[in-house]
Amino acid sequence: MAFDDNDSARNWISSPYHRLWLLNQAGSLFDFFEPHSIDPAGGFYFLDDHGQPILRDASGQAPAREIHATTRLVHCFAIARLLGRPGAERFIDHGMDFLWNGHRDSANGGYVWSVGKDGGGDDRKQAYGHAFVLLAASSAKIVGHPDADRLLADVSEVLRARFWRQAEGAVAEEFERDWTPIGGYRGQNANMHLTEACMAAFEATGDNSWLDWAQSIASLIIRRHAGALGWRVAEHFTEDWRLDRDYDGDPVFRPFGYTPGHWLEWTRLLLQLWETGGRRLGWIPDAAKGLFANAIAEGWDRERGGFYYTLDWQHRPRLRRRLFWPLAEGVGAATFLNAIVGGPPYEEWYRRIWDFIANRLIDHEHGGWHAEVMEVGDDTAPFFAGKPDLYHDLQACLMPLLPATGSVTRGLLTEGIRLEHGPARQRAATR
């Protein structure tokens, strides 16, 4: 629904009621994940739709503890600690211990993807997982965890020695446990999450080399490649960073074609990078606006609502599934554009996305967010069992409550949350 100029001037982020609603939503996510997430054997359980631990997967095996789940919960409960939520320290301690004593390979260095309960698991070492170790370590440092410096120093050395490719300005993708390279694949997803983690590490340490890495990755993935595609982010590349249009891998983590949710995620990350880096990279605002415009024009399902998971190379829907995390990233993108660029379209999309989340994703009966929007009579098996984690949705609830000048952890540390919104920030002349 469009609205007139008078309505658009009253933006939701300035409303004390909306701000309280967002804060309550963040609290309800913690309420869902707190009671049963901790696995006494180490790491965290995945939870089903009712918030109970998933003890057996479809094959009857105990699910392995995956590194992105461990690290994201450390990051999220560091946020809880900054919010002043009692009990958060137990989750940070538990996750930090398992990262060091479970995921970390003390013999060869680095961090394995997953740890099984019966000696199994996946011992590959992926850039994606190491990016989240860096994020968790940085967030733990922000809240003063005693093991944060140890973890930060260790993962920093691994990233620099094993993953970073200075000539490419990005990271290699994955290795065997003994650091034998696996194939020649290069992916934007791992590099995108490393961009977020590098900004977090810069905020936590003041080390400008992390900011240099983030800017280098953004220049390669967005300025060079997305720019050549009219501000659309491609996912898959060859070892020498040529676009691989034929690649068709894992349908969840490496699907064929475009993933418009990542266009939205990059919109927010680019504007955060622009602010964090002192607004020096002049190409960023136009890139962010272009990515967002394409995501809503081509990725939004105009009949049912929500964002398509993937598009083909002709920008047509390929996987029409509508997952939770692109909607969360849409909130973040609209929040940053609203604060920095401004204008009715961004306020309208901010409201539209939240309306859809409230009506279709938030589980008002059992808590948490549904991982995927399923229609009545849909016999397609969902991508995820239960409710995977709270990383995307928690940040969507908190970003609008903080200045659009850095990460959630930095904003909570330096500004805190006020239910009465402060004076509007001066917008950049980017319209």
User: Where do the structural domains in the chain lie, given as residue ranges?
Assistant: 5-414
Asked whether 258 and 232 are in contact (CB, 8 A), the reply is yes
How far does CA 57 lie from the centroid of its chain?
25
In angstroms, rounded to a whole number, what is the distance separating the alpha carbons of residues 181 and 126? 10
Domain 5-414 listed as CATH 3.30.1330.40? no
- Out of 130, 262, 364, 370, pick the active-site residue: 262
Beta bridge partners of 373: 322
For 343, residues 6+ apart whose C-beta sits below 8 A from its C-beta are: 431
Asked whether 170 and 221 are in contact (CB, 8 A), the reply is yes
Q: What is the predicted pLDDT for the residue at 426?
A: 41
Tokens representing 351 are 């409201």
> For 300, which DSSP code?
B
Active site (annotated) includes residue 18 = no
Q: What is the predicted pLDDT for the residue at 64?
A: 95
User: Dmax of the chain from CA atoms?
Assistant: 63
In angstroms, rounded to a whole number, what is the distance separating the alpha carbons of residues 407 and 410? 5
Per-residue pLDDT of the chain (431 residues; tens, 9 = 90+): 555 545 545 799 999 999 999 999 999 999 999 999 999 999 999 999 999 999 988 788 899 999 999 999 999 999 999 999 999 999 999 999 999 999 999 999 999 999 998 778 999 999 999 999 999 999 999 999 999 999 999 999 999 999 999 999 999 999 999 999 999 999 999 999 999 999 999 999 999 999 999 999 999 999 999 999 999 999 999 999 999 999 999 999 999 999 999 999 999 999 999 999 999 999 999 999 999 999 999 999 999 999 999 999 999 999 999 999 999 999 999 999 999 999 999 999 999 999 999 999 999 999 999 999 987 667 677 888 899 889 999 999 999 999 999 999 999 999 999 988 764 444 444 43
Q: What is the predicted pLDDT for the residue at 58?
A: 79
In angstroms, rounded to a whole number, what is the distance separating the alpha carbons of residues 250 and 228? 25
Q: What share of the chain is helix, strand, coil (3-state, %, to 5)?
A: 50, 10, 40
Asked whether 70 and 103 are in contact (CB, 8 A), the reply is yes
- Residue of 254, 154, 166, 181 whose CA lies nearest to 217: 166
**Which amino acid, one-letter code, is at 142?**
I
Active site (annotated) includes residue 262 = yes
In angstroms, rounded to a whole number, what is the distance separating the alpha carbons of residues 93 and 233? 37
Give the CA-trace dihedral at 171, 172, 177, 183, to 10 degrees: 170
